[in-house]
Amino acid sequence: MLEKIRAQWTKVIRPPALGLLKLGVTPDAVTWTGTIATIMIALVCFPQGWLWQGALVMTLFIFSDSLDGTMARESGRSSKWGAFLDSTLDRLADGAIFGGLALYYAAQPGSQLYCALAIGTLVFAQVTSYSKARGEAVGIEVHAGLAGRADRLLLGLAGTLLTGLGITWALPVALGYLCLAGAFTIGQRMWIVRKAILMEEAAADKSI
């Protein structure tokens, strides 16, 4: 869904990416900075109930997820290590965001369901990414899904911001949707991989 607008977004962040490269900043440095800042904000602000404040500040650092990739391409430093580092740190950042929201609801009386939704979103987010990685590890492209990382971040932070501003149902609704979309996405990817493997096996049998 939102992954489709990345090409347009890249045009917007290209000038600051080139500016950072001229200053000698490396793509890996941007990746680490954005991830560490995101984790700190999520685990400090959200459990304290500083929802809209945390969401606003975090949005600034979330942009580094695209910024480092643009810097790598513009500088010719795209590498397997960079892709691995970016993907690995993304999982840590996602875990901190939804883990922080789970801690927020865990401290609220009568909010066990919302806490469970936040934990469910965290788990489904991790498995969604894992299913893609495992599919590609066996040579199968896996791109389908309702809940890509950009979708999770946009909906999760929007719900957090609105709930922090007093629209208390916004975040539970966002988390509920992300849980359902995450489960559906995992099912989609499992079916894609299973179907591809069955086709490969059928083709191998015919060639015997």
Domain residues of the chain, as ranges? 2-207
pLDDT tens digits, 88-103: 999 999 999 999 999 9
Strand ranges in the chain using DSSP code E only, listed in sequence order: none
- Please report the pLDDT score of residue 104 as a whole number: 97
- Please report the pLDDT score of residue 8 as a whole number: 64
Residue with tokens 């590498």: 79
Given a cut of 70, the residues of the chain with pLDDT beneath it are: 1-10, 63-65, 144, 207-208
CATH number of the structural domain 2-207: 1.20.120.1760
- Please report the pLDDT score of residue 162 as a whole number: 97
Q: Are 156 and 175 spatial neighbours (Cβ–Cβ below 8 Å)?
A: yes
Known active-site residue 151: no
3-state helix, strand and coil shares in percent for the chain, rounded to the nearest 5: 80, 0, 20
- Please report the pLDDT score of residue 72 as a whole number: 81
- Please report the pLDDT score of residue 137 as a whole number: 86
Reported pTM: 0.87
C-alpha to C-alpha distance for 133 and 125, rounded to whole angstroms: 13
Least Cα distance to 154 among 165, 146, 143, 144 occurs for 146
Catalytic option among 28, 65, 90, 151: 90
